[in-house]
Amino acid sequence: MVPRRLYDEGVMLGACESLAPLAPAATVHVNPDDLERIGVPTGGTVRVRSSRAAVELEALADPGISRGAAMIAFNLDSADSSGASALIDSARAVNDVRLETP
């Protein structure tokens, strides 16, 4: 799942000192059972790996996410492309990711 967030790391928001702090860091939301299975507490760091790249993100337990699925907001990539866009291969209909302990 790859939604978009209202406040991101874009040029316009970054140029406005009062709004820039509203852009959250990229995080990965996963089902609490999946986090427990790999032994990572909510707020811990996980490596998210796809066929294109691997990024390290803060993991948040979210009971609204189905088991075996992950959610990273698309437009929260940092300057080093450490978000969802680094992981997604647009030529594929489905992009599998793996969560690992760093």
User: What CATH number should be reported for the domain holding residue 35?
Assistant: 2.40.40.20
Q: Is position 30 within any domain?
A: yes
Q: Is position 3 within any domain?
A: no
Q: Which two tokens stand for residue 100?
A: 């690992």
Residue 37, CB half-sphere, CA atoms under 13 Å: how many? 10
Query: Domain residues for 44?
Result: 11-100
**pLDDT band (50, 70, 90) for residue 8:** low
Q: Is position 81 within any domain?
A: yes
Domain count, the chain: 1
Which residue has 């990572």 as its token pair? 40
41-88 pLDDT per residue, tens:
999 999 999 998 999 999 999 999 999 999 987 765 555 556 787 888
**Residue 1 has what pLDDT?**
53
**Residue 65 has what pLDDT?**
95
Percent of the chain with pLDDT over 90: 44
Q: Is position 31 within any domain?
A: yes
Separation between Cα atoms, residue 35 and residue 6, nearest integer Å: 27
Torsion (CA) 73, 101, 33, 92 in degrees, nearest 10: 50
**Residue 4 has what pLDDT?**
54
